[in-house]
C-alpha cells in the first residue's frame, strides 16, 4: 500500500474520478494482466492527480465525469507490452484492438512505446462518462490501435469528433497535452 514519494493512488487523491486499471485485468489489448499490475488501482504522480482534479471539475460543470484506464505504468509492463508486440503468433485480441494494423507495425507506428511517460506517472489514459458512468461515444474503444483513434481522424462521425474535442479541451485547459494518435492519452 506504500508508494514512493511523489506518487499517490488516484482514488485517494482525486475522489469522484472513476477508474478501471485495464492492464491489471484481461480487458486490454493483450487479453491478460500486464506484468507489474497487481491490483485494480490507478497510481499517478501528485502533479497528475492535481491536474485530474482540475479536469474532473471542468467535466462536472458539463454534467460529465472522468473515467481513467491507466496512469503510472511500471517499466516491466512497458517491457511486457513490447514483448507481446513482437510475438506475432499471439493475435487473440487483433479484431478488437488492432484490426487494420499488422502487429509488427504497432511499435514503429507509435501505438506501443518502448519508453513511456506513463512510467514517470505523468501520463494518463481516460475518457468522459455521464453521471451513470456510461462512456461517451468517442468512435472507438480505448486502446484501439488504428488511424480511427487519431484525434482528428476523418474516420469517425461528427458527434464522435465533438466528444473527443470536448475531452481534449478539458484536458488541455487542465494542463495536459495530447498525443495525436490516441484520443484517450494525455501527459503533463
Q: What is the pLDDT of residues 21-69, one digit of tens each?
A: 999 999 999 999 999 998 898 889 999 999 999 999 999 999 999 999 9
Average pLDDT, the chain: 94
Instruction: Retrieve residue 126's grid coordinates.
Output: 481516460
User: Distance (Å, rounded) from C-alpha 143 to C-alpha 125?
Assistant: 9
Given the residues 162, 165, 173, 182, the one annotated as active site: 182
Laid out side by side, the sheet with 65-70 consists of 18-19, 65-70, 123-129, 182-187, 177-179
User: Distance (Å, rounded) from C-alpha 6 to C-alpha 26?
Assistant: 29
User: Distance (Å, rounded) from C-alpha 55 to C-alpha 59?
Assistant: 6
- The reported pLDDT for the residue numbered 1 is 63
- The reported pLDDT for the residue numbered 55 is 96
Q: Model pTM greater than 0.95?
A: no
Our answer to whether residue 182 is catalytic in this structure is: yes
Percent helix, strand, coil in the chain (nearest 5)?
Answer: 35, 15, 50
pLDDT in tens, 87-145: 999 999 999 999 999 999 999 999 999 999 899 988 999 999 999 999 999 999 999 99
Amino acid at each position: 500500500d506504500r508508494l514512493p514519494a511523489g506518487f499517490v493512488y488516484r482514488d485517494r487523491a482525486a475522489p469522484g474520478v472513476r477508474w478501471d486499471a485495464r492492464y491489471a485485468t484481461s480487458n486490454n489489448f493483450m487479453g491478460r494482466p500486464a506484468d507489474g499490475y497487481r491490483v485494480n488501482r490507478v497510481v499517478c504522480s501528485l502533479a497528475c492527480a492535481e491536474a485530474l482534479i482540475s479536469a474532473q471539475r471542468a467535466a462536472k460543470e458539463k454534467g460529465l465525469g472522468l473515467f481513467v484506464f491507466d496512469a503510472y505504468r511500471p517499466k516491466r509492463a512497458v517491457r511486457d507490452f513490447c514483448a507481446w508486440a513482437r510475438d506475432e503468433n499471439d493475435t487473440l485480441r487483433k479484431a478488437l484492438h488492432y484490426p487494420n494494423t499488422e502487429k509488427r507495425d504497432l511499435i514503429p507506428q507509435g501505438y506501443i512505446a518502448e519508453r513511456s511517460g506513463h512510467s514517470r506517472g505523468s501520463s494518463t489514459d481516460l475518457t468522459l462518462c455521464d453521471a451513470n458512468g456510461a462512456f461517451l461515444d468517442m468512435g472507438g474503444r480505448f486502446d484501439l490501435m488504428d488511424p480511427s483513434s487519431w484525434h482528428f481522424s476523418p474516420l469517425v462521425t461528427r458527434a464522435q469528433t465533438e466528444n473527443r474535442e470536448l475531452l481534449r479541451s478539458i484536458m488541455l485547459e487542465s494542463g495536459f497535452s495530447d498525443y495525436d494518435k490516441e484520443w484517450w492519452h494525455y501527459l503533463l
